A and B are shown apart, each in its own frame.
Chain A
Amino acid sequence: MEQVIANGLYLGAQYALIALGLTLIFALMNILNFAHGQLYVLGGFVTYTIYGQLELPFVVALFAAAVTLAVIGAFIERFLFRTVIKRSIREESTMLLAAGLAFFLDAVILLIFGEKQRGVPKLINGIFNWDFRLVMPYDRILIGFLAILSIVTFVLYMQYSKTGRAMRALAQDRVAAQLMGVNVERYSMIGFALGAMLAGVVGGLLVTITGVNSGIGGPISIKAFMMVMIGGAGVISGAIAGGFILGMMESVGLTVLHSYGDITYLVIFASLMVFLSIRPQGLMGKPWG
């Protein structure tokens, strides 16, 4: 049982970090960013190139991944989403743009980084082993800790910084925020950049554990959407809760249900359908949006 809980917490920490960026972008701009998984993959490949190939320190690689993705995120918001939002009031226009962007990034990543699974050297060797009741490699413990640290830093930033407050105001009521003098375009761009940066950071962190390959963007996005749906779209605390709930459900399901074959995700999806039919806004979302 100790192992199952530890696995769930570790999965939950990484899932929550993945979901944070997605929910932030949704909260600020009402955009379902289907390309979030591809941004994660890009972060992984930047880290792979700098840490794995150029053999520079991991912190340099992680910083580069964060900056690169922030710049890409800002670019995407400024030249793609902002343009579409200005020209079309239909919400599906941004959804189509996001889907197109996901396919485009998939193709570009495949072209640049190739088809192979990539990995980097372990950050720390060694395994914590409590009499085989709880086995956890030290690098997983470190990455789990860094993921939680990133989540806490992000929450504090959103809570107490001027930029964070402006973004929260924007998420609560775009028009009211604008009337109060918040520069909507500027903070939308910062928010998108921050969301993309979070995807890049988690991609960079997890490349040390699970590696990265060009085809995993889509599946990562789907999981991120599941977490956001569980927690409530556009709610930061909801994304964190959704991540940990999904991580724990996976860990428990894979252990308890393993003798019945691969039904864990069937059970999770079925539970999600029932849950959403009762509470469509998710755990912490508001029914009015």
Chain B
Amino acid sequence: MSKANVFSRRTVISAIAVALAGSMVVAGASAKELKIGFVGVTSGPAAAWGTSNVRSMKTSAAWINETGGVKIGDETYQITIVTFDDQKDPKRAIAGMEKMVQEGIHYVVGPNVDDGAAAVRPVAEKNNIMYFPYAFPKSLYQKPASNAVLGMIANYQSGPAIYKYLRDERGVKTVAFIAANESDPLSQRDGGVVAAKALGLEVVADKDTYQNDTRDFVPVLTPVLRTKPDLLVLSGVAPGNAPLLIRAARELGYTGLISTETAQDAKVLEEGAGELANGFISVGGASTPEIRSEVMEEFIERYIKMFGEYNDESNTKVYALEYIIETLKANPKAIDDVSEFKKTMETFSAPNPYMKGDAVLKYVGMTSFGQKRQVSVPMVVNEYRDGKFITLFIAEVD
């Protein structure tokens, strides 16, 4: 190879490098980058919880970026989603939150479970990060805590509404609870037991639990169903376990009602339990076609285009990023100052793009937490029927 050839190749490579660097500078000049973090579970048996978060965030971010970015104050930002799989391990959740600190991120969605959310609290508070967990311990949202914002409806908010409806409308008198032997489901079960008793329902089973990796629920349910409850509550059930529990209960001859306070996926129920899942009651976000806006329909289309299949859990998970961006738009100073974000939360209000009608985005939680540390998402109580969710009733949390 001649020297001239080497020189010319080097020249070409250098020219390409300069051109690339130049184009990056130009791109950087036209739109800044706004990084939003995610710390949660995207692998293992509970992968569906975090994956629906990540995919919702990526779908929304791609949509925003495709339309030129989001204007916050005088600047236009391209959204970048930075994700960290905590594998449902609190130690890894802390590492994930520390990674967000290193990335200079102030707004994080997740973690997905109670112990992870509790574990990241010191890191988030010390480093001025607002985070949006899908975890229910009240201490995360009550003073003196102020950096966590509950990203969904808690079971102690939806449970009483569901039990009251079923008592009044379906004549439920006795309830049995079953939960996975993990902190989230157990705390949800305990909250459910208190709520059911407060409504005058007789709790006939409240100690039965199962390992979260159980595959065959017949032995687990056999003693529970001997109590012949009118309602079987699957406290905090993971979407992967719900169809297995429903199927086992029905195949053991149980004909009563089955409900949960967590969001589920219609396709998973259809494949796992088929028509045996008919009548199963759960909670969703903008879940049903009758209340979805055109924006929500387009979000679902884009989600399917990006990831091949929609996850109904995203009906709730779509909201966290929307709240972060809309709050930043309402107060651009909050982009790197979470104290400004907190101030804005008190008065924030914006149209809810995912629902028909005049629904609004706002922060709630005064009754449950004494301060506004919860996103307002519609509490849509669904009944599964033949592959679809149909709305039983819609309520709001204050």
Contact = CB atoms under 8 A, between A and B. Distances in A.
Interface of A: 3-4, 7-8, 10-11, 14, 52, 106-107, 110, 114-122, 127, 129, 132, 135, 137, 140, 206, 209-211, 213-216, 218-220, 250-251, 254-255, 258-262, 265
Contacts of B244: 117, 210-211
5 closest A-B pairs by beta carbon, nearest first, are A219-B213, A117-B240, A262-B209, A119-B272, A215-B45
Nearest to A260: B207
Q: Which of B47, B253, B308 has the most CB of A within 10 A?
A: B47
8 contacts: A114-B51, A127-B251, A135-B253, A140-B218, A213-B45, A213-B47, A219-B45, A254-B222
Q: Which of B181, B253, B271 has the most CB of A within 10 A?
A: B271
Q: Which of B48, B241, B251 has the most CB of A within 10 A?
A: B251
B219 A7 contact: yes
Interface string B41-76: 011111110011000000000000000000000000
A216 B48 CA distance: 13
B243 interface: yes
Given A116-B268, A215-B44, A7 B222 contact: yes
B271 A120 contact: yes
B386 to A, nearest CB: 14
Given A119-B268, A135-B252, A211-B271, 5 more contacts: A115-B52, A117-B271, A122-B274, A132-B253, A265-B211
Contacts of B33: none
A117 B48 CA distance: 8
Nearest to A129: B253
B273 interface: yes
Say whether chain B's binding surface is mostly helix, strand, loop, or mixed: mixed
Q: Which of B43, B213, B240, B268 has the most CB of A within 10 A?
A: B240
A243 B280 CA distance: 34
B274 A121 contact: yes
Given A11-B219, A210-B244, A216-B215, A119 B271 contact: yes
Interface in B16-35: none
Q: Using C-beta atoms within 8 Å of the partner chain, give the interface range for chain B.
A: 35 or more
Contacts, number: 119
Contacts of A250: 219
Contact of A216 (B213, B222, B311): B213
Contacts of B274: 121-122
A115 B251 CA distance: 26
A118 B239 CA distance: 11
A137 B243 CA distance: 16
Contacts of B268: 116-119
Interface of B: 42-48, 51-52, 181, 207-211, 213, 215-216, 218-220, 222-224, 239-241, 243-244, 251-253, 265, 267-268, 271-274, 308-309, 311
A127 B47 CA distance: 33
A250 B220 CA distance: 9
Contacts of B222: 3-4, 7, 254-255
Nearest to B271: A119
A55 B98 CA distance: 47
B311 A116 contact: yes
Contacts of A3: 222
B243 A115 contact: no
A234 B220 CA distance: 31
Nearest to A256: B223
A259 B207 contact: yes
A118 B223 contact: no
B48 A116 contact: yes
B42 A115 contact: yes
Contacts of B46: 215
Q: Which of A116, A122, A210, A255 has the most CB of B within 10 A?
A: A116
Contact of A258 (B208, B216, B251, B311): B208
B223 A254 contact: yes
A166 B130 CA distance: 64
B380 to A, nearest CB: 21
A220 to B, nearest CB: 8
